[in-house]
Every structure is written in structure tokens, then in C-alpha cells.
Amino acid sequence: MTLQWIVAFSHLLALGIGMGAVWARGRALRGPLDDAGLKNVFYADNWYGIAALLWIVTGVWRAFGGLEKGTYYYLHSVPFLIKMGIYVLLAALETWPMIVLMQWRARLNKGIPIDTSKARLFALFSEIETVGLAGMVLAATAMSRGIGFIGQ
């Protein structure tokens, strides 16, 4: 029971870290992109990456590791399937900014100028991701209450 609690806590903690981080990254991408501004973008992006890793590890563990309601429950829960659908969309949306921000970091570390012309677009992506994360929470709360369970 203690392990279930710690993993659930970690999963929810990642929500707070991740939602705050992606929101902060979006704000930073809309600000000046001088050295200090880029430092803020990368700082928030690092935290979003940490949260994503924690979400994935704890989420997979909870759903398929025998800690919670069991794999059958999750795979027969409409809200869970919706939550995973949102996750796939957000992961797809995040792929391009993630790659570009890694390129920005590498170029900055080498002293090569970076093209920040996509910053406002990536800020919009971050805002969409923030809303998507809220949608995932909505689905998760329905799932935890048995709403939309189609199993026997």
C-alpha cells in the first residue's frame, strides 16, 4: 500500500511540476529572447522534461505494474482511453519544440546564433499543452470514479 501511495503521489506531483513548467515556458517564449530570456525558456523546459519523465514512468507503473486497479480496468475505461489520446496528441505537438529547443541549446553552447522566429508558435504550443493537461486531469478524475468503465 505504501508503494501505491508513493507512486500515486509522484504521478500527481509531476502534474504540478509539468503544468507549471509548460506554462512558464510559454510565457518565457513570449518574452525577450536574450541570454536571460533563453535561460528562463530552458529552465522551464528542463522542468517540463523532468515532469514528463516522471509522468510516463509512474503512469505506466500504475496502469500496467499491478499497483492500482489493474490493467483490465484501465484498458476498459473510456476516460483512460481519452486521457491517453490526449497524451498522444500532446506528445506529437511537443516533438517539434523539443527538437528545436535542443538545437537552440546546442547552438548557444557553441556560440552559434539561433533563429528564434518560431518562439511565438512554440509559446502557443505550450498554451495548448497546458489546456491539454487540464483535459487529462478531467479524464483522470472521471476514470478514478469509475465513470465510463465498460468492463464487466
pLDDT (tens digit per residue) in 25-47: 999 999 999 999 999 999 999 99
And the C-alpha cell for 124? Answer: 502557443
Rg (CA), the chain: 18
Helix (H) or strand (E) holding 41: helix 35-64
> Higher pLDDT residue, 75 or 151?
75
pLDDT (0 to 100) of residue 20 = 98
Q: Are 120 and 30 in contact (CB under 8 A)?
A: yes
pLDDT (0 to 100) of residue 3 = 94
And the C-alpha cell for 88? Answer: 498522444
CA distances to 9, 42, 118, 123, 135 from 31, in Å: 33, 13, 13, 10, 26
Q: For the segment 120-141, what is each residue's pLDDT rounded down to a tens digit? A: 999 999 999 999 999 999 999 9
Helix (H) or strand (E) holding 44: helix 35-64
